[in-house]
Structure 1
Amino acid sequence: MKRGPSEFVVPKMIGAEVARAFAEHIVYLRWPPGMRLIEEDLCAHFNVSRSPVRDAFQILDGEGLITRAAWRGVRVAPMSVADLDEIYKCRVALEGLVAAEAARNAGEADLALLSTLLTEMDAARADQDVEVFFDRNVAFTRTLHKASGNGTLSRVVSGIEKQALRYRYLAHQNTHEIMDVVCAGDRKVFEAIAARKPDLARRAAVKLIRHAHQVIARVVAEFEEAEQANAPRSRAPSPV
């Protein structure tokens, strides 16, 4: 019997939704690096069947957020300075290109939204509200990607960004210096974009990413030392 399109699309949509839910737990470090993800536990907690959980694992594996290996099962991907360095080597080049393209292509609505997000970031920084600041900073970054007007570039850089997010979140949770760096850097990027100066925007973005990388690397190095001092996790007591 011939299947209709919905029979193929719906399961994948469910898998993508489950992957987004899992990714949120990973990015916000509710599921720490190395935590084992038990399929039956996740099915029970999220009230889904095995199929979308397996689809989610495939998506997250491709995004670098989990690892899958024989005898070790599925685990949240480790975090390390070496991994951070690889991610940020890519981000330096890509975010610089995004900023340059945004200086050429951003519309007035894009500029208005970026300006609003900067104002909200400044307010959150003044209040030392890390969660709100991080949320607005992520929104600022994604608005820049969209404002570049380059769909291919936006898709490529968003894939790298997913791996960078939990490193960024870890830094936000452990040092207020990152808020100072990001506020100053994002404002310079925005000013160059608003002035329609692609080369200046690219240089401002590259400087920001490199500075943020230095701050995050210090936090991750401390995190690695703490992780190495702990006993390895064999199985997490709960997926949440």
Structure 2
Amino acid sequence: MIPVLETEFLRLLRSRKFKLLFLVTIFPSILYLLNPNASGTGVGPLKKSFEGLFADLLPNYWLGIIGQLIAVIVMSDLLAGEIDRGTIRLILARPVRMSGFLAGKFLAGLAALALLFGIPYAVIWLYAPLPYQGGLEGIKVLAGSFGVVLGATLVILMFLGALSMFLAVLIGKPLYATLATFGLLFLEQFILPQIPYIDHPERLTLGYQALVMLKGSFGNINVIGTPLESAVTFLGVSASLLVLTWVLLLKKEFPN
């Protein structure tokens, strides 16, 4: 698993795709640096502003349509690219267990996504105390909120990654797998909520569920749901999808 993880992670970091996607994820952070719009001084206003900023940007940008598409683009290619190029047969001919191969690919993609999303978050975390004159104390005060935001993001990204890899093996073509995954996400989050008689349809969106996970630590979020229950559900579904992907890989016939 470790060799697959290291090789794939370094390949992703060196790719042009990673650099382009990083420009997309860091864009809101750059805008914040240019115009922090501080509404007071001290750690109290600082914490309130920081939590309000992420309560807005997380569901509407980083884990909205844009962020979801980024995660799907990165994760869909990890297996579908190998299948489409035919290189998966060469890889599996080596003394590599299928479970280790899948785990290495998944963790490499998740690590790359953690950088894509985590660095922009960290930029805001480390810079936000400056306009509020919070200093080092401000950084410490925001550390917990930063950790909660990153944790909720990783839970959602794990789900997106597991779903992308499952459909990638099922379909076998990177482009088609990406379109199918994103189409399924779009259907679940924007078409199904239009059906009458669904109570609180906003709960079907990933951004909303991210807010549910933040609710336990953020004081300004009023959503329906339990943070622990939401996190455990996403982790359980992600694990199930990875097991199904492993089974598909074991049973799938790869053409020459």
Structure with more helix by fraction: 2
Please, what TM-score do these two structures have when normalized by structure 1?
A: 0.34
Please, what TM-score do these two structures have when normalized by structure 2?
A: 0.33
